[in-house]
Structure 1
């Protein structure tokens, strides 16, 4: 489905946890009706406990608090948080909880990767930031570098609908039909600002390609420049062709990727694309200051996106994702300036001469990593054709 841009919103860009969590905690503490929270990771650290405590306080004053975490990413949730949250009245569930032999089935690759909070249907947070402390990482990878957006205005109707729908779906799958209640809060759709935005999700039913198509439409229309900062970048054929076509017609393309990765297999697989991209005139930078987890883009200083979706087959073909897409010069400019600032202080540009000096065994290992990743997509039930064309089957997750 095409993005439905709604005017009249107020969007606040939040850079990493230092800006995100104070805003989130304040909004939770101000909640009076309901909270929906979705996260891939809910870490047993200082931030995790601060958020859990805030959710408990909200539930104790009568707020209906609904928490959905991924069964793989938040595998610690039962031991670390569930009893305390449940005792306070928080309703918590898992998306595809991994138990015993099912842990190794192909469905484990289909994850709830969204990072989404909706409070009283009047304010929402959309982005790539999990419930985890920025410094919960090896010393040389601290702090996390990521983005989220605080959303107010008419686009909340789209966000609230998606959050409620997810809760209903997971409730049904978990046989907790008592959780399937009528909406408590009505989305606040009054004008809050002057920014146009659309909320997009990726699932396996009606919205299989919404995020991908939004990217492709913006890239195909690009005239001047494309800036992408993405933690896990392994685009399929359609995305790659769109980028190369844009480069060929003179669009300046800059891609910021991880220089320090928590998934070396993915990093090595991505590096197999560097030579072709550089030959096409695409500039590639690796962020080496700390761990980069961002999933953002800015095109022609007018179009921007912030969300949970990486540009790889797992996000674009398998996972539940959520992105906010914005058409607003001020927001796009602010995001671009923030990414360029991060690049200036913490990134290194990759040059073709450097790649040509890599030993043969290093190139072989990278192509081997690329082959392994493609095999993983196949194990998940998607053939090479599906990856290449970014199509999916109608199978419901």
Structure 2
């Protein structure tokens, strides 16, 4: 009988585990250098175009004449809405209201320059206070850093300086970093103004902007916005303002207010809702147009279903970096059927839109991240055929001073322009 030998299986010889040594300090240095380089490239590109634009602006200033229209009014329910498209006309109306005030004045502005127009407003407010009118003023400290704080010493006037430095700025904390970008004037609870105009001589004649005046019960919309902001940010040295409430309910005329401290941003929502409803046409005028994905998708969807979508922006604005970031969207918009018009020779600063001859918004918010999800802003949303017709007339007036950018022209722009757009694109979330 054969003998069977059992041979134990052979297993491979186990090696000792290899220990990988990481030079953690070196890796951190490389990561830091990479992050610094990634941030430095778009910043350097932005600095370069800013330097070139400074030279270009010296050679070709934005001071050419542009078409204007006199103030025009229409009735919205029990309120008269007056549209202003020229700064000198607007300032005349605002100063007239201040000088005729009998009880109360609320003024809120982003920029208030110490120049001829700025001093006219200062004098009118001080004189109103001297005759017994209660005057309350809010201005943004950061936007007016170049102006001496002594200019804002207004005898007898309650002044709230929105702080120049916000604690959340470095940490990108939206609740504690937004600027006060609103422009509001309310007189005697009966007359109220809102729109894109700051206060200064430059804006009186050399910038094309849009403001709206409400005369009647709907002025409460802007009064309430001022009172809420004042009571939220006033210090102990400033009085509390009374919230009077309103018996008037007009769903067709409402103020949408962005409030970063409460993470409330309704202006973006009214744009998205209105674009979804569009059936005929969308006319948008913007100083700085850097749409987020949802707003861009809304415009493209409207164009795809046959809506005539037109966006009017300055060919050159006072913020060249914003111009370059906006251009990063042009290819997608033009391919999708959105028509882009470039305003010529002057700065257009309006923040307006009108849709289908029915819906209109006029206010302070740009279509960019800073306005729609960053700053304190206010826009009136009005559903009224008469006001929409006025805004369409204003759009056609501005279009007459614009040139249309075609897809063919845009595709043949200089290769260096394409490189600059790509290099600066990481800055879009900041603007």
Deviates more, 1:359-368 or 1:242-251: 359-368
Partner in structure 2 of residue 70 of structure 1: 140
Q: 1:92 aligns with which of 142, 159, 183?
A: 159
What secondary structure does 1:111 align onto? coil
CA–CA distance in 2 between the matches of 1:234 and 1:255?
12
Tell me how large the CA RMSD over aligned residues is. 2.5
1:42 Cα deviation after fit: 0.4
1:134 Cα deviation after fit: 3.5
Deviations 1:154-189 (A, max 9, x none): 322222111011111121xxxx32423343x96787
CA contact (8 A) 1:197 1:326 kept: yes
Report 1 or 2 for greater relative contact order, CA contacts < 8 Å, sequence distance ≥ 6: 1
Matched, 1:59 2:129: yes
CA–CA distance in 2 between the matches of 1:219 and 1:254?
12
CA–CA distance in 2 between the matches of 1:98 and 1:129?
23
Superposition pairs of residues 249-260 of structure 1, within 5 angstroms? 249-260=305-316
What secondary structure does 1:179 align onto? coil
Deviates more, 1:156-165 or 1:74-83: 74-83
1:11 Cα deviation after fit: 0.5
C-alpha change, 1:156 and 1:177, in structure 2 (3 Å) is: same
C-alpha change, 1:196 and 1:154, in structure 2 (3 Å) is: farther
1:370 Cα deviation after fit: 2.2
Matched, 1:360 2:428: no
What secondary structure does 2:347 align onto? coil
Q: Which has the larger radius of gyration?
A: 2
CA–CA distance in 2 between the matches of 1:7 and 1:210?
23
- In structure 2, list runs of 5 or more residues that go unmatched: 1-75
CA–CA distance in 2 between the matches of 1:356 and 1:103?
38
What secondary structure does 1:155 align onto? helix
Superposition pairs of residues 257-268 of structure 1, within 5 angstroms? 257-268=313-324
1:121 Cα deviation after fit: 1.1
Q: 2:240 aligns with which of 181, 186, 196?
A: 181
Superposition pairs of residues 325-344 of structure 1, within 5 angstroms? 325-344=381-400
CA contact (8 A) 1:236 1:312 kept: yes
Superposition pairs of residues 227-246 of structure 1, within 5 angstroms? 227-246=283-302
1:343 Cα deviation after fit: 1.6
CA–CA distance in 2 between the matches of 1:119 and 1:188?
16
CA contact (8 A) 2:360 2:388 kept: yes
CA–CA distance in 2 between the matches of 1:117 and 1:105?
33
Deviations 1:168-223 (A, max 9, x none): 1121xxxx32423343x9678789xx994111111125572311111111110000
C-alpha change, 1:165 and 1:145, in structure 2 (3 Å) is: same
- In structure 1, list runs of 5 or more residues that go unmatched: 1-5, 137-141, 378-397
Partner in structure 2 of residue 110 of structure 1: 178
Q: How many equivalent pairs are there?
A: 354
Deviations 1:237-274 (A, max 9, x none): 11111111101100000100011211111100101111
Partner in structure 1 of residue 265 of structure 2: 209
- Normalised to the residue count of structure 2, the TM-score between the two structures is 0.77
Partner in structure 1 of residue 352 of structure 2: 296
1:122 Cα deviation after fit: 1.1
Q: 2:332 aligns with which of 268, 276, 280?
A: 276
CA contact (8 A) 1:121 1:186 kept: no
CA–CA distance in 1 between the matches of 2:119 and 2:384?
36
CA contact (8 A) 1:288 1:348 kept: yes
Deviates more, 1:48-57 or 1:205-214: 205-214
- Normalised to the residue count of structure 1, the TM-score between the two structures is 0.83
CA contact (8 A) 1:202 1:208 kept: yes
Deviates more, 1:48-57 or 1:68-77: 68-77
Matched, 1:82 2:152: yes
